[in-house]
Amino acid sequence: MSKRKSRETHMTSGECVSQVQRILRERFCHQGLPEKPVGLDSQYKHLLELLKRTAVHGESNSILIVGPRGTGKTMLLSCVLRELMDINEVQKNLLQVYLNGLLQTDDRIALREITRQLNLENVVGDKVFGSFAENLGFLLEALRKGDRGSSQPVLFVLDEFDLFAHHKNQTLLYNLLDVSQSAQAPVAVVGLTCRLDVLELLEKRVKSRFSHRQILVASSLTFGQYLDNVRSQLSLPQDFPDARFGQEWNDSVAKLCEDKSVEEILQKQFNSSKDFRSLHLLLLLALSRVNVSSPTLRAVDLLEASRLCTVDAKANMLHGLSILELCLIISMKHLNDIYDGEPFNFQMVHNEYKKFIQRKSNSVHNYEKPVILKAFEHLLQLELIKLVDGSSSKTQREYQLVRLLLDHGQIMEALQRYPQCPTDVKQWAVSSLA
């Protein structure tokens, strides 16, 4: 049914919204590549120059791209590669190998992956190799003996580079960097990592073979640029099928970005983190509230999205506890106050709780001990309290030492928000040393 409609020249508003959702979702979720990385011009130029030297002139290089999570390391690299692959000569000549520290958890898997990505499986066949280096050497040898007489450059991209440094003896890194230093086959090793101390993880011999070129990708945006970025992220491209709707949408986005309350939300977001991923998350949450009945993005949507992003998860969980469990948490809080953060066991919590019950003449919350123990174990399952020394089955359940993983403020706030909290429980929570 929807197909028939889309053939019409003018789109209905439902179609338009669906189209907007498609374009923006692709941008936020699938991390579509932008035209040009924002605020990373010098890094872009540097990397492009370096990779061009390998691809065109056959020079061996190694470089690390370092930056916090979500600052656009992968985006920078793929933008550079996109431009690089536009060059005709490079396109024919350059071989690419992608390795990820999460996937290739040891060197054997990594080596197999390299053979696979270089399409050398038929060459290796069932041939048995001696050492790892021999295997790698053979791989590169085979590369050099490729279709053309001259050697073909290979680009190794090592995502999550710091995880490769945890491999045994760092053999893969040693060999790759060694090849980049000595052997004839031109290779470029590009590592992407979020650890700033990654060089300290490398062994001395590996470190000495690394060229110590690093590109630091850190967001140096000011808030003004950030705001511009939000605007460009949200606005629709020029070639949007329904031009009038596209124009309206872009106007509304521009107006939205000037709104004071929106600016406040974005300022808050900017203060907590500058990375684009959390921004995308926020914008996606706002975008998901756009539908046919409200076809434009409003300040309310953004407000709601930011509320969803910043909610305290533990407070949410505390809200769903039963009264008995809440009482146990309060007694734990008292124990923490009295004994200054010492670990405690169920017996002590029970004792504290009993004191509260005895003080109150009306024993509404007077339960049997096993019932209270069940509540205590539920708290343990929710990881609101934690056993001090692992799960030592040696001691009885009542005497295992635990620690409370909540702070004072969280408990008090949860009490305030708790639906129909009995007054005596509230009183008891406040009167700490009684």
Partner 1 sequence: MPVQLQHSGYSAEKLQSLTESLPCREAQASTLLALMGEPDQYSYPSIFIYGHRASGKSYVTLRVLKELELPHAAVSCVECVSPGLLFEQVLLSLFGHTAASSLPRCPSLSDFVRLYKQLCSQNPAKQTRYIVLDRAELLRDMEVNLLPGFLRLQELVDDNVTVILLSEIVWDKFRPNTGLFEPLLLHFPDYTKAELQKILARDSHPSYPQELYSFYINILLGVFYSVCRDLRELRHLAALNFPKFCEPLENGEAKESDTHKLWRNIEPHLKKAMQTVYLREISSVQWEQQQEMMEKEAMAPKGLSAYTHVELPYYSKFLLIAAYLASYNPARTDRRFFLKHHGKMKKTNFLKKHEKTSNHLLGPKPFPLDRLLAIFYSVVDSRVAPTASVFSQISSLVTLQLLTLVGHDDQLDSPKYKCAVSLDFICAISRTVSFDIVRYLYDFL
Helix (H) or strand (E) holding 95: strand 95-100
53, 213, 314, 403: which one binds partner 1 (CB under 8 A): 314
Sequence-distant (6+) residues with CB within 8 A of 244 are none
Specify the residue, 398 or 413, whose C-beta has the smaller distance to partner 1: 398
- Find the shortest distance in angstroms from Cβ 137 to partner 1: 23
**Cα-atom radius of gyration of the chain, to the nearest Å?**
30
Q: Does 163 bind partner 1 (CB under 8 A)?
A: yes
| Smallest distance, partner 1 to C-beta of residue 396, A | 6
CB of 299 to partner 1, least distance (A): 18
Among 87, 199, 317, 412, binds partner 1 (CB under 8 A): 317
DSSP string, 359-374: HSSS-TT---HHHHHH
Enumerate residues 229-258 that contact partner 1 by CB under 8 A.
none
CB-wise, 119 or 381, nearer to partner 1?
Answer: 381
d(CA 375, CA 114): 53
Q: Of the listed pieces 88-96, 205-213, 255-263, 362-370, which binds partner 1 according to CB under 8 A?
A: 362-370
- Considering only 37, 44, 84, 162, the residue that binds partner 1 (CB under 8 A) is 162
Interacting residues of 289 by C-beta distance below 8 A, sequence separation 6+: 301, 304, 305
30 belongs to the binding site for partner 1 (CB under 8 A): yes
Task: Give me the least distance between CB of 61 and partner 1, in Å please.
Answer: 25
Give yes or no for a contact between 107 and 167, defined as CB atoms under 8 angstroms apart: yes
Pick the binder of partner 1 from 69, 359, 408, 417 (CB under 8 A).
Answer: 69
Distance CA(285)–CA(305), nearest Å, equals 5
Nearer to partner 1, 208 or 322 (CB): 322
Query: Concatenated DSSP letters for 185-210?
Result: S-EEEEEEES-TTHHHHS-HHHHHHS
Report helix, strand or coil for 432: coil
The CA-atom distances, in angstroms, between 235 and each of 46, 92, 225, 243, 256 are 30, 36, 15, 13, 11
- List the interface residues with partner 1, window 373-392 (CB under 8 A): 374-375, 381-383
| CB of 55 or CB of 283, closer to partner 1 | 283
Nearer to partner 1, 128 or 313 (CB): 313
Instruction: Tell whether residue 104 is a contact of partner 1 (CB under 8 A).
Output: yes
Q: What's phi and psi for 404, nearest 5 deg?
A: -85, 130
- Which residue of 11, 28, 115, 151 would you call a contact of partner 1, by CB under 8 A? 28
Q: Which is nearer to partner 1, 10 or 166 (CB)?
A: 166
Using DSSP bridges, classify how beta strands 154-159 and 95-100 pair: parallel, antiparallel or unpaired: parallel
Give the number of other CB atoms < 10 A from CB of residue 367: 16
Q: Residues 394 to 433: which contact partner 1 by CB under 8 A?
A: 394-396, 398-399, 419
Q: Figure out which of the listed residues 29, 387, 388, 434 binds partner 1, where binding follows CB under 8 A.
A: 29
**One residue of 11, 17, 173, 279 binding partner 1 per CB under 8 A:** 17
- Is 168 an interacting residue with respect to partner 1 (CB under 8 A)? no
Give residues 258-297 in contact with partner 1 (rule: CB under 8 A). 277-278, 281, 284-285, 288-289, 291-293
Nearer to partner 1, 50 or 411 (CB): 411
Check residue 313 for interaction with partner 1 (CB under 8 A): yes
Q: What is the bridge-based pairing of β-strands 385-387 and 214-216?
A: unpaired
Query: Considering beta carbons, is residue 132 or 211 the nearer one to partner 1?
Result: 132
Stretch that binds partner 1, among 67-75, 134-142, 145-153, 199-207 (CB under 8 A): 67-75
Question: Exposed (0-12), middle (13-18) or buried (19+): which is 354, by Cβ within 10 Å?
Answer: middle
Question: Whole-angstrom Cα distance, residue 346 to residue 341?
Answer: 15
d(CA 173, CA 165): 7
Spatial contact of 191 and 158, defined as CB atoms under 8 Å apart: yes
